[in-house]
A and B are shown apart, each in its own frame.
Chain A
Amino acid sequence: MNGPAPEILRDSPGAAWEKRGNTLWVGCTGADCRTWFPVSPVMTRSGAPPACCPDCHTEFKLAASLPRQGETK
């Protein structure tokens, strides 16, 4: 990934994700995995199922709310 520093949400429970344009990227939280994969914003909503790493299949919840455009927390 190239370009400016991503907006990173760190103050709500769940795995952090990075926003690039219209795509959210999340890194697997599984030990020794760290696979990055794109997720839909629907996966950050309350009630959404846990994300699932496509490589190691570790399941984990994503941070709950989207930052507003331009906001960096």
Chain B
Amino acid sequence: MRDLRSFLAEHAEALWELPGPVGLRHELTALQHALDERGEFPILMARHLPDLDGQPSRVPVVTNLTASRELTARALGIADHRDTARWFAARTQSGVDPRVVSRSEAPVQQVVLMGEEASLHCLPILTQHELEPGPYLTAAHATTYDPDTGVDNTAIQRCWVKGPRRMTYFPYPTTHNSRNLRKFWARGEPCPVAFWIGHHPAVLLGTQAKLRYPESHWRAAGGVLGEALRVVPSVLHGERIMVPADAEIVIEGFAPPNVYSADGPFGEYTGYLGAQVQAPTFEVSCITMRRDAIYHDYASGLTDMLVPDNMAMEGKVYELVKAVAPSLVNVHVPTEGRRFHAYLQLRNPARGEARDALMAALAYRRLKTVIVVDEDVDLFSPESMLWAIATRVQWSRDSIIVDGLSGSSLDPSLPEGAGTASKLGIDATLPPPPRPGVPRAVPPVATVPAAARERARALLRGAPTARWPKS
């Protein structure tokens, strides 16, 4: 059985327990900005924080849990993070069915707070960025269900805590949770929701798998976890909404029909503040948690959140593109492109296949720029990607711009009133040889022999590299 604490114990070398108290407003997030700028990605644990009433909280905060791509990949059991796309696609497709356990076997229900006791103010909830209106749950996984079929759905969705038992809940209108909510509201009923917080990164990523509607995420999470996810009936909603038994905290309640309130501005994955919107209101009826619960926070717009989300995207893009371009061998969704860029790697593509791959990937709503390269280009090296673009692309021949595709409304470059996005595909592959066994119609890449490279590495091993300029 794996959970948040088993992950922390396995990777204690990457955990930095902060030596003193730190402020809930901006300070912990500022530390994550500083770490991102330095290219360093420890897991952060902060204890002795105040709760939202200003009283000492017994609950510590863990954040930056998934800021390291290498560590997150290892947590999933992927030896080399560059293999994520194929691995994630295979694991979420194969899946492992969840296992239902009793309440006595569920650590997340060790403490049950009902009524007035179920106060969000007991938690050390952060306000991350300037101009955000208050504390936000950023790692709350909202589980709802489709009232027509009973099939559940889970997604990370932010919540602005507006009072001890009241918060906003913002499922983006195109999401499956939003669809479930609207179905309940169309019947004049409040939508039942359970938000669960804190689990092993494999479960966090598994529940971000992009699935059909309606389709439960528990099976995909089990596939990524490599074992059945233990789930337990929620206290309030019973078997209609299961929650992970080994989570840290669960918040249960209802979103009453057609009750909206202002939500945001909020720091988004784009690195900009998203505008204030209207969001459903959520009323808390019950909070359950472990006796020694840990509160998990995702730093929105920083690597902490981009890394896991982009890794899950790589699996989905791999599935989409592989269906039309069998020569696809790898996908990278780089954090420097937020969620807007994807790099595809093909092995000896057939004529037209590079463009097929581009078109398939561009159809994915989040993506805005897709670049396809050959196998000799390192998808995970910005230098290598820019080299391929610089030397293998003639823009009029190798670029395609498609207007009118679905895109992210959070893209600040969208023109006024735009309901769709303009997208770019770049074919940076080399043309194939005119016939088998003949060199391609481009000069060979300048290289040195393998033996000379090995000798250079041996020389460098004894060199005083720490003193040398790094840029």
Contacts and interface: CB of A to CB of B under 8 A. Distances in A.
Interface of A: 19, 21-24, 35, 37-40, 42-43, 48-55, 57, 59, 69
Contact of B416 (A37, A51, A57, A69): A69
Interface in B381-430: 412, 414-418
Interface stretch (B217-225, B269-277, B319-327, B371-379): B269-277
A32 B418 CA distance: 35
25 contacts: A21-B412, A22-B414, A22-B416, A22-B417, A22-B418, A23-B412, A35-B131, A38-B274, A38-B276, A39-B275, A39-B277, A40-B277, A42-B277, A43-B276, A43-B278, A49-B261, A49-B278, A50-B262, A52-B262, A54-B131, A54-B134, A55-B133, A57-B134, A59-B262, A69-B417
A29 to B, nearest CB: 14
Nearest to A56: B133
B265 A54 contact: yes
User: Which 4 pairs of residues, A with B, have the shortest CB-CB distance?
Assistant: A54-B133, A52-B262, A38-B275, A40-B275
B456 to A, nearest CB: 50
Interface residues of B, number: 21
A48 B131 contact: no
Given A37-B131, A43-B277, A22 B412 contact: yes
B409 to A, nearest CB: 9
A36 to B, nearest CB: 9
B132 interface: yes
A21 to B, nearest CB: 6
B412 A37 contact: no
Contact of B133 (A38, A50, A57): A57
Contact of A38 (B262, B273, B414): B273
A53 B275 CA distance: 12
A52 B416 contact: no
B278 A22 contact: no
Contacts of A54: 131-134, 264-265, 276
Contact of A42 (B131, B261, B265, B278): B278
B260 interface: yes
B126 to A, nearest CB: 15
Nearest to B131: A54
Given A48-B278, A54-B132, 12 more contacts: A22-B416, A22-B417, A38-B276, A39-B276, A39-B277, A43-B277, A43-B278, A49-B261, A49-B278, A51-B276, A54-B131, A54-B133
A37 B277 CA distance: 12
Nearest to A52: B262
Contacts of A19: 416
A19 B273 CA distance: 16
B280 to A, nearest CB: 10
Contacts of B276: 37-40, 43, 51-52, 54
A71 B150 CA distance: 49
Given A43-B277, A54-B132, A49 B262 contact: yes
Contacts, number: 63
Interface string B246-280: 00000000000000111011000000011111100
Contacts of B412: 21-23
A23 B275 contact: yes
A60 B262 CA distance: 10
Contacts of A43: 262, 276-278
A52 B235 CA distance: 33
A1 B277 CA distance: 21
Given A23-B412, A54-B131, A38 B278 contact: no
Q: Which of B132, B414, B415, B417 has the most CB of A within 10 A?
A: B417
Interface in B114-140: 131-134
B277 A21 contact: no
B275 A21 contact: no
A26 to B, nearest CB: 8
A53 B131 CA distance: 9
Identify which of A19, A24, A43 gathers the most chain B CB atoms within 10 Å of its CB.
A43
Interface in B257-312: 260-262, 264-265, 273-278
A52 B278 CA distance: 10
B58 to A, nearest CB: 28
Q: Choose among A19, A37, A55, A69 the residue with the greatest number of B CB atoms under 10 Å from its CB.
A: A37
A52 B261 CA distance: 9
Nearest to A51: B262
Contacts of B277: 39-40, 42-43
A43 to B, nearest CB: 6
A48 B260 contact: yes
Contacts of B133: 52-55, 57
B260 to A, nearest CB: 5
Contacts of A23: 275, 412
